[in-house]
Amino acid sequence: MTNEDTFSTIDHAIKLETGKTIRVWETFPKDNSLVKNNTILIASGFARRMDHFAGLAEYLSSNGFHVIRYDSLHHVGLSSGNINEFSMTIGKKSLLTVIEWLKRRNINKFGLIAASLSARIAYDVANEIDLSFLVTAVGVVNLRDTLERALKYDYLQLPIEELPEDLDFEGHNLGSEIFVTDCFKHQWDTFNSTKNKMKDLNIPFIAFTANDDSWVKQNEVLELIESLNPEKCKLYSLIGSSHDLGENLVVLRNFYQSVTKAAIALDKGSLNLDINIIEPKFEDITSVTVKERRLKHNIESLELA
């Protein structure tokens, strides 16, 4: 059977009362895999779409996981809204909406994998939702510090009326007034706010840092981990990686392998990554990536028609 026969990404549209739509992609376990106990929900990093995680979904589904991805409202990707209206709270509401959608489909056992800025959202809700486990990769723990490092200036020190109209974050215009106002109103900005949200965490949790990450301080991630139950959390480092996990194929493969091992371990109730995984072929990952980009373009074309 060829990869053409086994492409199994299914598109769903969650219609909201506001008239907006959250797009969700579902990938089923491979037919020859040992199906796992938990579904995996992937929350993409800032300015990353769900199709950017085609490779990770292929790794996870090859190892028996049912995988769910989504694009946040007011973000890049297929869901409604423009990125200049994005805020951390909108990102949080998007995640919680997808979780409620899963529960309506009787999917109640799931682990959450969150990268970069979405990890800060995951830290905010981890004690509010019934997760089986949490995995984060280059997860932001100190939003204000990360923004200053990424933007080369601490814009959060300015009065609202002195902010530029947009903040150029990785080539995307982030509406400064909306984003900054929300940061202060809902206390997203400080490292202490992250620690406070995570202080009573009682689920298994694995965090991956990158040893060459110039946006997230590894010592702060370590401090967060050390404040939690040591029997339920563990910190690993992605050697040779920066904050951009897709900067080259070696780093990307290490990310896929490590996160897949973490998901398998946590699905079995372990924090030990010394396990074997099924590794999909490079050409299969490439094929799925192309097909998902095509699916994305087809959906965009239908919406514009």
- Per the residue annotation, which of 44, 72, 80, 116 is the catalytic one? 116
Gap between the Cα atoms of 267 and 83, Å rounded: 34
* Catalytic-role residue among 182, 213, 244, 267: 213
258 has catalytic annotation: no
Q: How far is CA 105 from CA 81, 184, 254, 255, in A?
A: 25, 35, 33, 30
Report the 10 Å Cβ neighbour count for 61: 23
Q: From the CA atom positions of the chain, what is the Rg in Å?
A: 19
Q: Assign 70 to helix, strand or coil.
A: strand
**Residue 243 catalytic?**
yes
Torsion sign across C-alpha atoms 172, 40, 262, 31: negative
Q: Are 113 and 135 within 8 A, CB to CB?
A: yes
Could you report how far apart the first and last alpha carbons of the chain are, in Å? 35
Catalytic (active site) residue 52: no
φ and ψ of 131, to 5 deg: -85, 150
Q: Which residues are catalytic?
A: 116, 213, 243
